[in-house]
Structure 1
Amino acid sequence: MARRFHSAEAFAAQLKGGVVAIGNFDGVHRGHQAVLARATEISQSAGVSSVVLSFEPHPRTVFRPDQPVFRLTPAPMKAMILGQLGFDAIVEQTFDKAFSSQSAEEFVTGILCGRLGVHHVVTGYDFHFGKGREGNPEYLMRAGVRHGFGVTLVEQFQNENAEVVSSSRIRDALAGGDVVEANSLLGYRYAVSSQVLHGKKLGRTLGYPTANMALPPETGLMPGIYAVRFRRADGTVYDGVASFGRRPTVAEDGAELLLETYLFDFSGDLYGEDCTVSFVSRLRGEEKFDGLDELVAQMKTDEAEARAVLGSLQPLSPLDAMLTFGSAG
């Protein structure tokens, strides 16, 4: 598990002098993983710590507060994934108007050299920093020469179809209900984590008790019915079928979005647990049925289809093996 520091000022002295990967890394997708893998390779070769320097909240949210970003990996999820990728620590540097007004040189001398004592920086080929984005890759390379740290710039990552992998493409895929495409770009199944809440317990009376989770309002996943993997806090994994939406058959118009997961072959109490749902495929859209009998009949069909999809599931990567299967692969 990567250690989390909520500012560079709080960074642990014993971790200074490491290799620092810099970026937002929202989604920690395959393109990000190329940058991150290079950082861990260099840190292992040099025998120093591996650190991610990221920014919270997402900079776009600071500059456009009326348009909150659909975060693919909120900070706790991102830290967990980075730990699985072998990082020792993540610095979640507070990003606000004051921080954004720093010059590029202040960022280099104050954060990289002063607080982190950086040995080597790894970042994407298009990284910009400092007020007005004055710091570019060339500036960073020159700063490394001046201050005595190495710099590695990782070229743009493309998938097998020579397509650029980006967080925005993944958000678009999820908004369109294409979780298979999103998962291919991520390199693991898209997942959300939240606390299981008490609901109206209607599912229990229908023979389909569900674990209910409230997701952030800016979540851009298309409503619908999904085949999922459900992972408890202790690492136990269950197959399931999940509904994400407003429950048009049983809820009033305008009800809040809710994620409701029916776990196969499970009985027990999950209330208050922080659990993770990994999305494997979208089965259908939300529908409003004429009555509960029709709804239950469709739920039985959904369960059968989800069991068929999940029965032969294979990991997409070692990271996916941990997230979706609860194992090291």
Structure 2
Amino acid sequence: MEDIETHAEGMLTLPSSVIAIGAFDGVHQGHQAVIREAVKRAKILGVPSLIYTFDPPPRFYFQGVRILTTVEEKLVLLDKLGVNHVVIARFDEFYTMRPPIDFIEDLKKFSPVEIIVGSDFRFGGNREGDIQLLEQYFQVRVNQPVCCSKGKVISSTRIRKLISTGNIQESLSLLGR
């Protein structure tokens, strides 16, 4: 496996790519499905895979929730999943006020053949950007939520709740490690 290349926002341009976008806090089984899809599609299309993520995760910035994986841990997990590039955008007050079109312009620098997001994906100031707006500019694949064996959606919020109630075993099974 080739080592993953990490880039600060604005420091990378690519002639083509498949991008997965998300906070990916925890890199849980649902995140892994999105990331694996991006890596698989990139290989099929013969282009690099790119993960566009945020530090800190938006929910931490807005709600102060527990961070499940540090940036370093996230990079190790993304590397194991075979990702070629990771762009880490600094999520701060400036970032939260950006219009959705600024985010779209940033994505154009990677010449995406496809972009893969979760079904609840939003972007830009006040979360004004949505999948429909993204589809006006790019080919978008939407991954549906992944459920556990009990039929419940796997999410970082659910994992945080399990950890806070001491249910470590179940949280680890949802994380997939």
Quickly name the TM-score band, shorter chain normalised.
over 0.9
Q: What is the 5 A alignment of 1:108-127?
A: 108-109=104-105, 111-114=106-109, 116-127=110-121
Q: Cα gap change, 1:101/1:38 in structure 2, threshold over 3 Å: closer, same or farther?
A: same
Equivalent residue number for residue 101 of structure 2: 105
Partners in 1 of 2:161 and 2:95 — Cα distance?
30
Match status 1:10 vs 2:11: yes
Partners in 2 of 1:99 and 1:170 — Cα distance?
26
Equivalent residue number for residue 184 of structure 1: 173
Amino acid at match of 1:90: V
Conserved? CA contact 2:60–2:66, under 8 Å:
no
How far residue 133 of structure 1 moved from its aligned partner, in angstroms, is 1.2
Give the structure-2-normalised TM-score: 0.92
Conserved? CA contact 1:21–1:53, under 8 Å:
yes
Conserved? CA contact 1:17–1:119, under 8 Å:
yes
Amino acid at match of 2:132: E
Match status 1:93 vs 2:89: yes
How far residue 164 of structure 1 moved from its aligned partner, in angstroms, is 0.6
How far residue 84 of structure 1 moved from its aligned partner, in angstroms, is 0.3
How far residue 6 of structure 1 moved from its aligned partner, in angstroms, is 2.2
Partners in 2 of 1:75 and 1:100 — Cα distance?
19
Question: Which of 124, 147, 168 is the matching residue for 1:130?
Answer: 124
Conserved? CA contact 1:16–1:49, under 8 Å:
no
Partner SS state of residue 163, structure 1 = coil
Percent identity over paired residues: 33
Equivalent residue number for residue 55 of structure 1: 54
Amino acid at match of 1:140: L
Amino acid at match of 1:29: H
Equivalent residue number for residue 164 of structure 1: 153
Equivalent residue number for residue 37 of structure 2: 38
Question: Which stretch shows the higher mean deviation, 97-106 or 50-59?
Answer: 97-106
Partners in 2 of 1:63 and 1:37 — Cα distance?
28
Cα shift readout 1:86-106 (whole Å, capped 9, x = no counterpart): 001111111112122111112
Equivalent residue number for residue 152 of structure 1: 141
How far residue 16 of structure 1 moved from its aligned partner, in angstroms, is 4.2
Match status 1:81 vs 2:77: yes
Give ranges in structure 2 of 5+ residues lacking alignment: none
Conserved? CA contact 2:60–2:67, under 8 Å:
no
Cα shift readout 1:111-147 (whole Å, capped 9, x = no counterpart): 1003x22221101011000112111111111222xxx
Amino acid at match of 1:96: D
Partners in 2 of 1:16 and 1:131 — Cα distance?
28
Higher relative helix content:
2
Query: What is the aligned-residue RMSD (CA, Å)?
Result: 1.4
How far residue 163 of structure 1 moved from its aligned partner, in angstroms, is 0.6
Partners in 2 of 1:2 and 1:70 — Cα distance?
26
Conserved? CA contact 1:26–1:167, under 8 Å:
yes
Greater radius of gyration (CA): 1
Conserved? CA contact 1:83–1:89, under 8 Å:
no
Give ranges in structure 1 of 5+ residues lacking alignment: 145-149, 189-329
Q: Cα gap change, 1:153/1:51 in structure 2, threshold over 3 Å: closer, same or farther?
A: same
Aligned length: 175
Partner SS state of residue 137, structure 2 = helix
Q: What is the 5 A alignment of 1:123-272?
A: 123-144=117-138, 150-188=139-177
